[in-house]
Each structure stands twice: as C-alpha cells, then as structure tokens.
Structure 1
C-alpha cells in the first residue's frame, strides 16, 4: 500500500496507543488510522481522551 501523502510504498503497521493500530510511512512519517480501527478503540475506551 502506498502512502496517501507522498505516494511511496513505505507503509508499515504500528501501534500509536494501546489497542490502536495505524500505518506509518517511513518516508514522510505520516500516520494513517482506519476509521473502523479508531471507532473500535474509542468505544472500548469510553473515558475522555486528550487529542494529540
């Protein structure tokens, strides 16, 4: 899969928070979180989360 920002095929899975997976680009360091993964993480963690 290619990075939507720099169009390079350098995406690798990473964990940005416990139980929240993302794809990180090794070229531009962008992190991409699928909406379904984010929604599942939020519903499993109902306490307030501080935006980063």
Structure 2
C-alpha cells in the first residue's frame, strides 16, 4: 500500500510541476509578445510624421 502512495505522490508532483512550468512559460511568452507589440506600435508612431501621413 505504501508503494502506491509513493507512486501516486510522484505522479501528482510531476503533474503539478509540469502544470506550473507550462503556465509560467505561457505567461512569459505572452509578456514577450506584448512587449514586441508595443515596440512595433512605437516604431510605427515614430515613422508616421506629417510628411509620411500626407502621402
């Protein structure tokens, strides 16, 4: 019976660890994408001078 508890704990621990890790990677990727989007928007705003807009 003890072996089952150890196995169950190991499987549950692995499941929790993988869940937290994948969540962390997803959030990190979202933050990186958001920074890139803001940088691109800022770059476009800098390029849109009155001369560029009048074309």
Computing the radius of gyration over CA atoms, which structure comes out larger, 1 or 2? 2
Structure with more strand by fraction: 1
> Which TM-score band applies after superposition, normalised by the shorter structure?
under 0.3
* TM-score (normalised: structure 1): 0.25
Compute the TM-score of the two structures, normalised by the length of structure 2: 0.23
